[in-house]
Structure 1
Amino acid sequence: MQPLILASTIAIGMMLGYKLNDKPEIDLISAHSYPNDSIYQTGRVEELIRFIDNRYVDKINADELTNAAVEAIFSKLDPHSVYMTPQEVEDNNVSMNGKYYGIGIENYFIDDTINVSNVFNQSPAAKAGLKMFDKIVSIDGIGVAGQKMDYDQIRKMMHKELGQSLELGVMREGQPLKFKLNIEEIPLKSVKYDYLPDIQTEVIKIDRFAAHTYSEFMAAIETHFKDNKAKHLIIDLRNNPGGYLPEVVNILCQIFEEKERLLFYTEGRNNKKNEYKTTGKRFFNINKVVVLIDENSASASEILAGAIQDWDRGLIIGRRSFGKGLVQEQYALNNGGAIRLTVSRYYTPSGRSIQRNYTNASQYGNDLTARYVHGDLFYKDSTLVKDTEVFQTKILNRKVMGSGGITPDIFIGLPEQDRDPAYYEIKSLIPEFAFTYLSHHTELVKEAGRPQVDDKVEKAFKKFISEKSELFDSVKEHFHFEPFREEIAHEMWEVTLKAYNNDVVVRFYDKFMNAAISVIRTDKGPADYTIEK
Structure 2
Amino acid sequence: MKLKSYLLPFVLAMAFAFGLLIGGKLNFNDTPEKLFSTNSKKDKLNRLIDYIDYEYVDEVNTDSIVDVTVNNILDKLDPHSVYIPRQEAARVADNMKGDFVGVGISFNMFKDTVAVIRPLEGGPSMLAGIRAGDRILVADEDTLYGKNYNNEMVVRKLRGMVNTPVNLKVYRKSEDKVYDVEINRSKVPLPSLDAYYMLTEDLGYIRLNRFAESTFKEFKVAMKALKSMGMKKLALDLRDNPGGYLGIAEQITDEFLPSRKLMLFTRNKSGAVEQSFATRRGDFEDGEVFVMLNEKSASASEIVAGAIQDNDRGTIVGRRSFGKGLVQREMELGDGSSVRLTVSRYYTPTGRSIQRSYENGTDDYYEQFYKRYDNGELYSADSIRVADSLVFKTPKGKIVYGGGGIIPDIFVPLEETRKETYYNGFFESGIMSFYVFEYLDAHREDFVDMDFEVFQEEFTVGNEFVDGFEKYLRKADFDADLYEYRDSAKKYIKATIAEQLYGQNAYQQVLRKEDPMILAVIDISKKSDL
TM-score (norm 2): 0.79
Give the corresponding residue for 1:522.
Answer: 527
Change (3 A) 1:482 1:201: closer
Whether 2:489 is the aligned partner of 1:488: answer no
Give the corresponding residue for 2:89.
Answer: 89
Give the corresponding residue for 2:444.
Answer: 442
Residue 254 of structure 1 and its aligned partner are, at CA, apart by 1.8
Unaligned runs of 5+ in 2: 1-36
Whether 2:471 is the aligned partner of 1:463: answer yes
Whether 2:240 is the aligned partner of 1:239: answer yes
Change (3 A) 1:422 1:185: closer
After TM superposition, list the pairs within 5 Å mapping 1:308-327 onto structure 2: 308-327=308-327
Is the contact made by 1:309 and 1:393 (CA closer than 8 Å) also made in structure 2? no
After TM superposition, list the pairs within 5 Å mapping 1:291-330 onto structure 2: 291-330=291-330
After TM superposition, list the pairs within 5 Å mapping 1:344-383 onto structure 2: 344-358=344-358, 359-367=360-368, 369-383=370-384
Alignment match of 2:187 (pick from 173, 185, 188): 185
Give the corresponding residue for 1:16.
Answer: none
Deviates more, 1:93-102 or 1:297-306: 93-102
Give the corresponding residue for 1:216.
Answer: 218
Change (3 A) 1:310 1:425: closer
Give the corresponding residue for 1:204.
Answer: 206
The one-letter code of the counterpart of 2:400 is V
Change (3 A) 1:92 1:426: closer
Once the two structures are superposed, what CA deviation does each residue of 1:90-112 show, in whole Å capped at 9, x if it has no partner? 22221222321111122346677
Change (3 A) 1:393 1:222: farther
Once the two structures are superposed, what CA deviation does each residue of 1:136-191 show, in whole Å capped at 9, x if it has no partner? 56665666656366644543444423344445565654958465533222233333
Once the two structures are superposed, what CA deviation does each residue of 1:431-464 show, in whole Å capped at 9, x if it has no partner? 5544443333213432334132134324323433
Identity, % of aligned pairs?
A: 32
Question: What is the CA–CA distance in structure 1 between the aligned matches of 2:377 and 2:436, rounded to whole Å?
Answer: 29
Residue 303 of structure 1 and its aligned partner are, at CA, apart by 0.3
Is the contact made by 2:169 and 2:181 (CA closer than 8 Å) also made in structure 1? yes
Question: What is the CA–CA distance in structure 2 between the aligned matches of 1:44 and 1:390, rounded to whole Å?
Answer: 43
Once the two structures are superposed, what CA deviation does each residue of 1:344-370 show, in whole Å capped at 9, x if it has no partner? 111112222111222321132445543
Residue 48 of structure 1 and its aligned partner are, at CA, apart by 2.4
RMSD in angstroms over aligned alpha carbons? 3.5
Question: What is the CA–CA distance in structure 2 between the aligned matches of 1:38 and 1:487, rounded to whole Å?
Answer: 60
Question: What is the CA–CA distance in structure 2 between the aligned matches of 1:326 and 1:524, rounded to whole Å?
Answer: 38
Give the corresponding residue for 1:531.
Answer: none
Q: Secondary structure at the match of 1:100?
A: strand
The one-letter code of the counterpart of 2:276 is Y
The one-letter code of the counterpart of 2:480 is F
The one-letter code of the counterpart of 2:328 is Q
Question: What is the CA–CA distance in structure 2 between the aligned matches of 1:224 and 1:483, rounded to whole Å?
Answer: 29
Question: What is the CA–CA distance in structure 2 between the aligned matches of 1:369 and 1:309, rounded to whole Å?
Answer: 25
Once the two structures are superposed, what CA deviation does each residue of 1:207-255 show, in whole Å capped at 9, x if it has no partner? 3222232233233323344x79321111121222212222222222220
Question: What is the CA–CA distance in structure 1 between the aligned matches of 2:112 and 2:204, rounded to whole Å?
Answer: 41
Question: What is the CA–CA distance in structure 2 between the aligned matches of 1:367 and 1:165, rounded to whole Å?
Answer: 51
Is the contact made by 1:311 and 1:393 (CA closer than 8 Å) also made in structure 2? no
Change (3 A) 1:353 1:197: closer
Once the two structures are superposed, what CA deviation does each residue of 1:403-446 show, in whole Å capped at 9, x if it has no partner? 22222223333334554577456544555544443333213432
Is the contact made by 2:84 and 2:337 (CA closer than 8 Å) also made in structure 1? yes
Whether 2:104 is the aligned partner of 1:99: answer no
Is the contact made by 2:194 and 2:505 (CA closer than 8 Å) also made in structure 1? no
Deviates more, 1:273-282 or 1:261-270: 273-282
Change (3 A) 1:409 1:466: farther
Question: What is the CA–CA distance in structure 2 between the aligned matches of 1:302 and 1:462, rounded to whole Å?
Answer: 39
The one-letter code of the counterpart of 1:251 is I
Q: Secondary structure at the match of 1:518?
A: helix
Is the contact made by 1:46 and 1:66 (CA closer than 8 Å) also made in structure 2? no
Whether 2:457 is the aligned partner of 1:452: answer no
Residue 261 of structure 1 and its aligned partner are, at CA, apart by 1.7
Question: What is the CA–CA distance in structure 2 between the aligned matches of 1:121 and 1:73, rounded to whole Å?
Answer: 42
Once the two structures are superposed, what CA deviation does each residue of 1:256-296 show, in whole Å capped at 9, x if it has no partner? 12x32221111122351111122244344532100112222
Give the corresponding residue for 1:54.
Answer: 54
Is the contact made by 2:307 and 2:349 (CA closer than 8 Å) also made in structure 1? yes
Question: What is the CA–CA distance in structure 1 between the aligned matches of 2:172 and 2:185, rounded to whole Å?
Answer: 22
Change (3 A) 1:46 1:133: farther
Deviates more, 1:94-103 or 1:161-170: 161-170
The one-letter code of the counterpart of 1:440 is A
Question: What is the CA–CA distance in structure 1 between the aligned matches of 2:117 and 2:388, rounded to whole Å?
Answer: 44
Question: What is the CA–CA distance in structure 2 between the aligned matches of 1:116 and 1:38, rounded to whole Å?
Answer: 57
Is the contact made by 1:326 and 1:344 (CA closer than 8 Å) also made in structure 2? yes
Once the two structures are superposed, what CA deviation does each residue of 1:44-82 show, in whole Å capped at 9, x if it has no partner? 333322232222233333433332332222222112112
Is the contact made by 2:394 and 2:400 (CA closer than 8 Å) also made in structure 1? no
- The structure richer in helix per residue is 2
TM-score (norm 1): 0.78
Whether 2:131 is the aligned partner of 1:131: answer yes
Question: What is the CA–CA distance in structure 1 between the aligned matches of 2:212 and 2:420, rounded to whole Å?
Answer: 36
Structure number with bigger Rg: 2
Change (3 A) 1:185 1:482: closer
Q: Secondary structure at the match of 2:316?
A: strand
Question: What is the CA–CA distance in structure 2 between the aligned matches of 1:368 and 1:352, rounded to whole Å?
Answer: 20
The one-letter code of the counterpart of 1:514 is L
Residue 378 of structure 1 and its aligned partner are, at CA, apart by 4.1
Deviates more, 1:95-104 or 1:110-119: 110-119
After TM superposition, list the pairs within 5 Å mapping 1:98-177 onto structure 2: 98-108=98-108, 115-136=115-136, 147=147, 151-166=151-166, 172-173=172-173, 177=178
Change (3 A) 1:222 1:413: same
The one-letter code of the counterpart of 2:297 is S
Unaligned runs of 5+ in 1: 1-36, 526-533
Change (3 A) 1:38 1:197: farther
